[in-house]
Amino acid sequence: MASMTSDMNASQQAAELAIEIRNLSHSYGEKKVLDNINLQVKKGSSFALLGPNGAGKTTLLNILCTLMKFDQGSALMDGADVVRQSVKARRSIGVVFQTSSLDDRLSADENLEFHGLVYGMSKKERREAMDAVLELVELSEFREKIVREFSGGMRRRLEIARALMHKPAILLLDEPTVGLDAQTRQRIWRYLQDMQINEGLTVLTTTHYIEEVESADQICIIDHGRILAEGTPESLKNQYGKSWLHVTPLNSDVVAEIKSRFTNVQALTHNRYAIEIPDTAELNTFLEECSDQIEEARLDAPSLESVFLSLTGRELRDKASGVRISEQQAGRRAGRR
């Protein structure tokens, strides 16, 4: 009886999952790019996969898209095995790749029409779906326009529309907003949130813009093919978040001073360093003594950025610009923490 109850609970849990990955590993020659990955993504949730270049994110997405086989383990998409039931799995997913895969010689309508034909949609289904997705991404008035005349933001919105044409249960997004302006990025996330709420769509995304996944239901941080941490944004901040001071020294002497005074110092790009803040008094003393040798200083309170830095020793992406503050401002802010 206990065994039967356990089996029923396991079956019920599996039915609630959009994505289930078990003990998945893959290597390119002698280089292991995925190392015993285990993930579960609930239906209707938003799941963010964060990791630096080379972490294994794109390889994992290619596996989930059925584009790549793997060495060991299993992966189910909406209950379908990506190897043994690849056709069924493909029908459950929509994909937006990092690099555009639209045919820019065709119109928006023609790109969508071809996608519908590939998925075996009837003429009536295609027409209704095309009208719906173009309206969703605000491209209805441009449906007959050739794609090569579209802006980058319009192309990305059309790719999302195409991925939603066949009403997938799961949407996979690989860096969907890279290179787009802030307004277009916000618009794209608004579309996806509406689809989650209204259609129960499950969204798995990789991104370099951590602020875009602050509202995700679940976040997984991966590096060197291994999962380092997984949880809600708040749980990750509470467990791994630290306060860091990001500084840009003007000379090698202050770099040596930083390394001698602080235990945890991470070398970043562009001659910048991140100092874990164990003691605000010590930090204030350092800033007072070395203020004339520091070009820039910025405080990073416990955040997803600081979680990523704490776990990987790296930033997820380079900052476009930093906020310059005086040592007095930095000291006052540090004192309030």
Q: Let me know if residue 12 belongs to a domain.
A: no
pLDDT on residue 188: 86
User: Residue 37 gets which letter from DSSP?
Assistant: E
pLDDT on residue 314: 79
Q: Assign residue 150 the CATH number of its domain.
A: 3.40.50.300
Phi and psi of 219, rounded to 5°? -130, 135
On whether both 266 and 176 belong to a single domain, the answer is no
Q: Let me know if residue 7 belongs to a domain.
A: no
C-alpha–C-alpha distance, residues 247 and 295, integer Å: 8
pLDDT on residue 335: 37
Domain boundary among 204, 232, 260: 232
Q: Let me know if residue 148 belongs to a domain.
A: yes
pLDDT on residue 280: 77
pLDDT on residue 333: 33
Model confidence pTM above 0.85? no
Q: What angle do CA 205, 244, 273 make, to 5 degrees?
A: 95
pLDDT on residue 122: 96
pLDDT on residue 14: 64
On whether both 294 and 184 belong to a single domain, the answer is no
C-alpha–C-alpha distance, residues 263 and 249, integer Å: 17
pLDDT on residue 228: 94
On whether both 28 and 168 belong to a single domain, the answer is yes
Query: What's the Cα-to-Cα distance from 100 to each of 140, 148, 153, 168, 288, rounded to whole Å?
Result: 20, 11, 11, 19, 50
On whether both 39 and 113 belong to a single domain, the answer is yes
Number of domains in the chain: 2
CB neighbours of 99 closer than 8 A, spacing ≥ 6? none
Q: Assign residue 280 the CATH number of its domain.
A: 3.30.70
Q: Let me know if residue 162 belongs to a domain.
A: yes
On whether both 76 and 186 belong to a single domain, the answer is yes
Burial profile 203-212: b = 16 or more Cβ within 10 angstroms, e = fewer:
bbbbbbbbeb
- Domain span holding position 284: 241-336
Low-confidence ranges of the chain (pLDDT < 50): 5-6, 8, 318-337
On whether both 227 and 247 belong to a single domain, the answer is no
Q: Let me know if residue 6 belongs to a domain.
A: no
On whether both 213 and 272 belong to a single domain, the answer is no
pLDDT on residue 164: 94
